[in-house]
Structure 1
Amino acid sequence: MSRSLRRGALAATAIVFSIAALSACGAGNDAQTLGVRPDNAAVSVDDVKIQNAVVITQPTPGVKGPAVVSATVFNNGRQAQTLDAITLPGTSATVKLKPAEGTGPITVPAGGSVVIGGEGNATAVIENGTEAAKNGDAQKVVFKLSRTGDVALEAFVVRGSGYYKGFGPSEVPAPPSATPTASATPGGEHGAEHGGESSPSGEASHASGH
């Protein structure tokens, strides 16, 4: 084989390996590209798939307040379903559901999905979240759908900070040791204006749903 032919063969082989490597990276990073955290809970039952499920508590340790359930609910069926309830078995938690717009049940359209948690999305608020979930635990969560019925999984319990800040509780009480800034600063309006910067805050709640 001539030197030019050998060079051509080597170049072709390099191209093939490059394409294969890119394909492997694309497949491996697919979940990351979709914004899915692979360590979060996911389950499929009949036409329903629930992905990226977590229970998110208050961002500051020791602060009592509501928690939320965040997840993405997919409906691969031909008929719409409603999410009638979310429960946390083994706890006294009450979960209040609210659609992204208006009132009534959360509807998962046929061939579509609904994100629970995050700004502009449907919400699932655990009113007594501090008592119901402990950070670091795996909490059983049951999604009750109108046609599929109960879909259960084990969801991690995490604090509403860092990656989860935008999906955590919208109601964030001040830490127990916090004192009103306005009372310590002449001119209450100026103190109140800057007090908000030093206190933890959560963004209004997909997620969301994986």
Structure 2
Amino acid sequence: MSSSLRRGALAATALVISIASLTACGAGNDAQTLGVKPDNAAVTVDDVQIQNALVITQPEAGVKDPAVISATVFNNGTGPQTIDAITLPGTSATVKLKPATGAGPLVVPAGGSVVIGGKGNATAVIANGVPGKKNGDLQEVVFKLSETGDVSLGAFVVPATTYFKEYGPTEIPAPPATKPKPTGKPSGEASAPAGETSGAPESPESGEPTGAATHAAGH
């Protein structure tokens, strides 16, 4: 084989290997960062990266709260950071943060990550739900970190079903009961016996009560 043909074959082989590597890498990233489908919000600010951010509501329609926020927060810096607060601008929602174990601040270790939502992980509970929002809407979520500051992104509002069931609220109130429609007379109302009339009977001739007619006859 001539040198030119060898060079062409080597170049073609290198191109195939490069494409295969990129494809494998993409599949790996999808498996890690998009493990929850469909594709969810992600953002990077300085040393902080937030992936798979969602606002997850109750699985049953008509039950408004509580809701939760689910996300993974990465810290690529050399020092730890705390998530001091999570807010939902434009709503009256308040978010209560709790680490996976114990009490205190929610710490993202240097070179590590914190998973929010799901069994055994940290939690971010929206006690009063997400007023004014319905499933399918996009909600701005702001993570306030001790060093990086505010990190904002848009997160979809989804119910705790299918892919999101394992990350949804752990407190599931019963759906509101529907009141039956009243039929007929109230059960406490008694019917008058047949043949009984209300009030004193009248005299058939004068129209006066029977008692009055008898009294007049006696005089």
Same fold (TM over 0.5): yes
Distance between the aligned counterparts of 1:58 and 1:162, measured in 2? Answer: 12
Alpha-carbon shift at residue 57 of structure 1 (Å): 0.4
For 2:31, the equivalent position in structure 1 comes to: 33
**Percent identity over the alignment?**
65
Alpha-carbon shift at residue 13 of structure 1 (Å): 10
Do the aligned partners of 1:92 and 1:132 also contact (CA within 8 Å) in 2?
no
For 2:196, the equivalent position in structure 1 comes to: none
Alpha-carbon shift at residue 120 of structure 1 (Å): 0.4
For 1:44, the equivalent position in structure 2 comes to: 44
Where is the helix percentage greater, Structure 1 or Structure 2?
A: 1
For 1:79, the equivalent position in structure 2 comes to: 79
SS at the partner of 1:29?
A: helix
Note the residue ranges of structure 1 that are not aligned, 5 or more in a row: 2-11, 179-210
Distance between the aligned counterparts of 2:134 and 2:65, measured in 1? Answer: 12
1:51-84 CA-partner distances (Å, limit 9, x unpaired): 1101000011112320000001011111101000
1:109-128 alignment runs, 5 A limit: 109-128=109-128
1:20-66 CA-partner distances (Å, limit 9, x unpaired): 55424312212332152472111111111111101000011112320
- State the structure with bigger RCO (CA 8 A, min sep 6), 1 or 2: 1
Distance between the aligned counterparts of 2:106 and 2:169, measured in 1? Answer: 18
Note the residue ranges of structure 2 that are not aligned, 5 or more in a row: 2-9, 179-219
Which has more radius of gyration? 2
Distance between the aligned counterparts of 2:145 and 2:11, measured in 1? Answer: 52
**2:67 corresponds to 1:67:** yes
Letter in 2 for 1:40: N
Do the aligned partners of 1:42 and 1:50 also contact (CA within 8 Å) in 2?
yes
The CA RMSD measured in Å over matched residues stands at 2.7
**Please, what TM-score do these two structures have when normalized by structure 1?**
0.73
SS at the partner of 1:69?
A: strand
